[in-house]
Structures are given as C-alpha cells and as structure tokens.
C-alpha cells in the first residue's frame, strides 16, 4: 500500500499510549524529541479519547502492547490510518518494535521506506427483537462466553444463513487472522497468517472430541444463536463486553469495509515474529 506521507516533507502523526502506565509516559517523553525532529505531532492522547476520525494525520504511533493497538483501531473507527506499534507490553505481535528499534527505523518510516500491510476487520451486530441493539467494529475476535452458572451451552452457528452446526461447549470464538494469536491460540485454535482473508471458528472445551476449529472465507456471513444461555452468557468483542445474551438474540459477524493498516519495517518478518514471541526452537535442548 502507498504511504500517504511519502511525498510530504514532515508527516503529521498522533501519539497514543496508556496514561495510567507511568512507564509509557516516560518512554514517550524520552522519544518525543526524536519524533518531532522529523514529523509534526498533531496530538498526544493518553486516554484513547480523542476523536481521531476528525483529525488530519498520516500515521499513528502507539506505545504499549497489543491491547493499546486494539484500542487505537477502535478509536479510528471507519477512518483507519497506518499504525506503528512500539512494544512496552509483553508479547507484542502487533506492537513489534522495541524503543531502541524504533529509534533505528524512524528515519526510514518518515521517508516512506516501509511497507503497510492491510488486515481484515469485522463488524459484529447484535440483533434483538428484529432490531439492531449494538454494532461493534473489531480487529481480533468475537467471543461468546458462558458465564455463571457455567453449565454447558448449545451454540448454533449459521454460515450464509445455513445452519453449519450446533456446538455443545463452554463458548465460541470467531477470530480474524490478527486475532488468531490471541484468545484463539490459547483455546487451541490455529495460527493464521495475518493477511489471509479468513475467519477461524474455535469452540471452547467442546463436548464432542471430533469437533475442531474451522477456517473459512472472510466473505461469508456468520451468525450465532444461543437458544438457552446462562444468566451471564456474554457477547465480547476484542476483550470488551458488549452485552449479555438472551435466547432470541442473534449475533452477526461479517467483513468490515475498513482495513487495519500496520506499518511493517525491514527485518520483522512473519515467521521471525512467531519464532521470537512464541519461543519456537528448531531443536530440543537437553
């Protein structure tokens, strides 16, 4: 994808980070003079509360972990802009650069000598009594979580309006490739290359051993119904509680029009990230 700032002298950037974490603020303050030497900082947001769609900027620099990047993607809404993540968290699949690496690559970023990968986003719509109750834009996953009293759920999955199956399980995750290394991975689901146009469907603790995660086309429409939910059965999007679910509620998940845009720098390949973040090794150590 073409860098929108590659032909301007000083790109316009916003800086985002969690203000409740002192380490984030101190690191931003340390790196801010370096950023400002080559770019115009139009806003610094410690609370992820600024109306980003109304701002004119070329690039968002997000300090923190992958959770901070998820907050930034929600904050940008339908007007997604390129994101450069600086990892001050733990794993950091999206926020992949250390502060030291950021200093090294910042001139290349400003000059446009980087790639921008576009990633699938989705719209999750909760239908209640024939009307739209809530609509959420997401990047990682939609999850149906059982909640107390923790009895097993029957969860119906429809694909393009056809009943695919009824899961007997503790919950269900419908994940994007970006989200495949998050909750989906912890639940035993597969890792998908982040640029694949696909969703992965992973049941949580299915009662039938033959039930396995399924990968399907992102252009299909997925609908979920829980006919007999527990009192606290919930719809969760990217870790954020959307609503508890009733027996007639219908959850619809489909590809979103905007795409999440992630700046990619030289030396940070897909398999290098997996190898380093997940501790993969080519041999067993004695």
- pLDDT band at 8, cuts 50/70/90? low
Lowest mean pLDDT: which of 16-30, 63-77, 160-174? Answer: 16-30
Are 104 and 35 found together in one domain? yes
CB proximity list for 154: less than 8 A, separation 6 or greater: 166, 167, 168, 226, 227, 228
Report pTM. 0.91
Q: What is the pLDDT of residue 96?
A: 82
Are 147 and 114 found together in one domain? no
Are 240 and 266 found together in one domain? no
Task: For CA atoms 8, 69, 254, 114, give the dihedral sign.
Answer: positive
Query: Which region, left, alpha or beta, applies to residue 129 given φ > 0 means left and ψ of -120 to 50 means alpha?
Result: left
Q: Each residue of 163-209: pLDDT tens digit?
A: 999 999 999 999 999 999 999 999 999 999 999 999 999 999 999 88
Displacement of CA 182 from its chain's centroid (Å): 9
Q: What is the CATH number of the domain that holds 200?
A: 2.60.200.30
Are 108 and 230 found together in one domain? no
Is position 136 within any domain?
Answer: yes
Is position 1 within any domain?
Answer: no
DSSP state of 18: -
- pLDDT band at 20, cuts 50/70/90? confident
Is position 81 within any domain?
Answer: yes
Span 41-66, average pLDDT:
95
Is position 23 within any domain?
Answer: yes
- CA-based nearest residue to 72, from 89, 59, 91, 56: 59
Q: What is the CATH number of the domain that holds 35?
A: 3.40.50.10330
Q: What is the pLDDT of residue 19?
A: 82
| Residues identified as active-site | 66
Instruction: Count up the domains in the chain and report the number.
Output: 2
Are 115 and 218 found together in one domain? no
Are 218 and 232 found together in one domain? yes
Whole-number CA gyration radius for the chain: 20
Is position 145 within any domain?
Answer: yes
Collapsing DSSP states into helix, strand and coil, what is residue 86? strand
**Which range of residues forms the domain containing residue 101?**
12-119+259-277
Are 144 and 244 found together in one domain? yes
Are 224 and 162 found together in one domain? yes
Are 131 and 33 found together in one domain? no
Q: What is the pLDDT of residue 89?
A: 74
């Amino acid at each position: 994808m073409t860098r929108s700032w590659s032909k301007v002298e000083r790109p316009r950037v916003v800086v985002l980070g969690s203000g409740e974490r002192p380490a984030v603020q101190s690191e931003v303050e340390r790196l801010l003079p370096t950023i400002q030497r080559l770019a115009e900082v139009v806003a610094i947001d410690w609370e992820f509360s600024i109306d980003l769609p109304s701002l004119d900027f070329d690039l968002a620099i997000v300090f923190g972990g992958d959770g901070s990047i998820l907050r930034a993607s929600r904050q940008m809404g339908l007007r997604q802009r390129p994101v450069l993540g600086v990892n001050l968290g733990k794993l950091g699949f999206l926020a992949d650069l250390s502060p030291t690496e950021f200093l090294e690559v910042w001139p290349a970023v400003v000059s446009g000598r980087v790639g921008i990968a576009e990633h699938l986003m989705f719209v999750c719509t909760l239908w209640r009594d024939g009307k739209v109750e809530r609509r959420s834009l997401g990047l990682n996953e939609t999850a149906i979580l059982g909640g107390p009293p923790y009895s097993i759920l029957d969860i119906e999955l429809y694909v393009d309006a056809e009943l695919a199956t009824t899961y007997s399980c503790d919950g269900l995750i419908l994940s994007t490739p970006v989200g495949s290394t998050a909750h989906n991975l912890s639940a035993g689901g597969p890792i998908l290359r982040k640029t694949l146009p696909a969703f992965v469907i992973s049941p949580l603790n299915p009662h039938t051993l033959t039930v396995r995660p399924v990968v399907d086309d992102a252009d299909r429409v997925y609908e979920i119904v829980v006919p007999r939910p527990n009192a606290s059965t919930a719809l969760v999007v990217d870790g954020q509680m959307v609503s508890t679910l009733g027996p007639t509620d219908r959850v619809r998940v489909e590809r979103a029009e905007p795409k999440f845009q992630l700046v990619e720098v030289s030396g940070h390949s897909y398999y290098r990230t997996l190898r380093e973040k997940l501790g993969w090794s080519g041999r067993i150590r004695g």
